[in-house]
Amino acid sequence: MSEPRPSDRHDASESDDTFAEIVDEATQRDPDLAVIEAGSRTLRTVSGPVPGDEVPARPADPEVDKALRAVEQELAGRWGETKLEPSVSRIAALMDVLGEPQHAYPSIHITGTNGKTSTARMIEALLGAFELRTGRYTSPHVQSITERISLDGSPMDPERFIETYNDIKPYVEMVDAQQPYRLSFFEVLTGMAYAAFADAPVDVAVVEVGMGGSWDATNVIDSSVAVVTPISLDHTDRLGATPAEIAGEKSGIIKQDATVILAQQPVDAAQVMLKKAVEVDATVAREGMEFGVVSREIAVGGQLLTLRGLGGEYEEVFLPLYGAHQAHNAAVALAAVEAFFGIGAEQPGSLDIDTIRRAFASVRSPGRLEVVRSSPTVVLDAAHNPAGARATADGLSEAFGFSRLIGVVGASDDKDVRGLLEAFEPIFAEVVVTQNSSGRAMDTDELAAVAVEVFGGDRVQVEPRLDDALEAAITLAEEEDEYAGAGVLVTGSVITVGEARLLLGRH
């Protein structure tokens, strides 16, 4: 297995200077935001073990597995996640007949283009470490639909998932009969999550949007903390053709008097977010200004961070995830939890450093630069758009010393596949194009045609079946002794990664 590269330790004495440089860069980068920022309040500081979160396998009990498959089949008969009628009227009607369960607990709402799920997992781990009972709702799932709804840091067990579905099913059918369109797959799952969180009950819910913000089914909560991870181009047919247009839709999760934790954004996207904050009198904390990554260094199994939070500096924080993007996700997650506890606004001081360290050390994010095999090393990453692919490519190059890297790519037909392949072209010696089992999967021949234009014909191999593609890539990585440090990256879609994970024996 190719080990992560060592790196020199950063001198802690350089922290303040480093953070000052971050602030300076952010100030120089966003001169057009001065007028907007002058009208908004910016957040400045006033002066039990966390459970594991592995991807669950199919239920061992045949009867439970049969019942879960029946639920999955019923859900699959509804509109899929990519077929939308932009409205929250149906989910609002469902919440009404269920007794508004989404208002039974405080919540943290997360939008953005990339990094939402990893950030949600980090927020969940931090809250759990402070002995709060958490509910987390994320999408899509890697292997099991039950991953989408987590309680106390672990996916809902199948029996409870089935019970929750059956509990709300009569109300779902009632709403279906009253609306022009039936509730969608995602809307029903959202209803299940909110009902399960109220039933638990949880102390706080961590909720990731499905798509966008304003009309996303999750947007019937009234969150005190709104988190916006980096915005880039994705779902442009539904959300808009520019970062600013996409930000306009995503800004819909910012509620009156909320606190907004804003990751680094394109200037036009940041302008939209800050304008919305002004309109609803929300407090804003910006990465690179009120919080950020002070320093980071590669460590065995992840990276060691110094983070500047809303209430001070947190040193020697180990994060068992690779890539600069995950360090920035960690900074965003920390600021969100500080804001939830009132740090930086209602009370001075910082959170307990030992608790913070313990929480971050427990974080897992399946399918995000996840090593699932050695000799040769096989890494899975769910990057599915150009921005995500660039972050993955940078993280992989930084953390692993591969002498030769083979890509396995299976993408969806509604994505910017050319942009994704172009982001990986500099690091892939060869690419094996394939297809996952989803109905949205891009045809292998179509994907191959684009890959040949990007890589050249001699660097592209076509294997329509994912199992054959994995075998071909591993064979290429093992091909010659001089490539003993070769590796394989499986990417292009969450579905591709989930199916590869199963094929490679990760349950």
Q: Place 10 in a pLDDT band, splitting at 50, 70 and 90.
A: very low
% of residues, the chain, pLDDT over 70: 85
Nearest to 275 by CA among 86, 110, 26, 38: 38
Decide if pLDDT at 425 tops 50. Answer: yes
Q: What is the 3-state secondary structure (H, E, C) of 249-264?
A: HHHHHCCCCCEEEECC
Calpha distance 472→476 (Å, rounded)? 6
Q: What is the pLDDT of residue 421?
A: 96
For residues 206 and 88, the answer to whether their CB atoms sit within 8 Å is no
Q: What is the pLDDT of residue 346?
A: 62
Calpha distance 226→222 (Å, rounded)? 10
SS3 11: coil
Dihedral of CA 497/502/505/507: which sign? Answer: positive
Q: Return the ∠ at Cα 126 (arms to 123 and 127), rounded to 5°.
A: 85
Decide if pLDDT at 484 tops 80. Answer: no
Q: What is the pLDDT of residue 7?
A: 41
Alpha carbon of 28 to those of 25, 195, 267, 289: distances in Å? 5, 46, 11, 11
Q: Which residues contact 411 (CB under 8 A, 6 or more apart)?
A: 384, 417, 420, 441, 442, 447, 492, 493, 496
Q: What is the pLDDT of residue 82?
A: 63
Residue 438, strand partner residues: none
Nearest to 213 by CA among 122, 119, 116: 116
Q: Place 95 in a pLDDT band, splitting at 50, 70 and 90.
A: very high
- Average pLDDT of the chain, as a whole number: 87
Say how many CA atoms lie within 13 Å of 57 toward its Cβ. Answer: 9
Q: What is the pLDDT of residue 54?
A: 63
Calpha distance 17→306 (Å, rounded)? 13
Instruction: Express each pLDDT in 16-60 by its tens digit.
Output: 555 455 444 444 444 334 333 333 344 433 323 344 446 777 889
Q: What is the pLDDT of residue 242?
A: 85
What is the DSSP secondary-structure string of 82-115? T-----SHHHHHHHHHHT-GGGSS-EEEEE-SSS
Instruction: Express each pLDDT in 196-227 by its tens digit.
Output: 999 999 999 999 999 878 889 999 999 999 99
Alpha carbon of 227 to those of 109, 237, 335: distances in Å? 6, 23, 9
Q: Which helix (H) or strand (E) holds 394?
A: helix 386-399
Instruction: Express each pLDDT in 337-391 by its tens digit.
Output: 999 999 976 667 899 999 999 999 999 988 899 999 888 999 999 998 898 899 9
Instruction: Express each pLDDT in 234-276 by its tens digit.
Output: 555 556 568 888 898 999 999 999 999 999 998 989 999 999 9
Q: What is the pLDDT of residue 37?
A: 38
Greatest mean pLDDT among 11-15, 180-184, 238-242, 459-463 lies in 459-463
Q: What is the pLDDT of residue 83?
A: 62
Q: Which residues contact 427 (CB under 8 A, 6 or more apart)?
A: 393, 396, 397, 405
Listed range (73-87, 292-306, 409-423) with the worst mean pLDDT: 73-87
Q: What is the pLDDT of residue 291?
A: 96
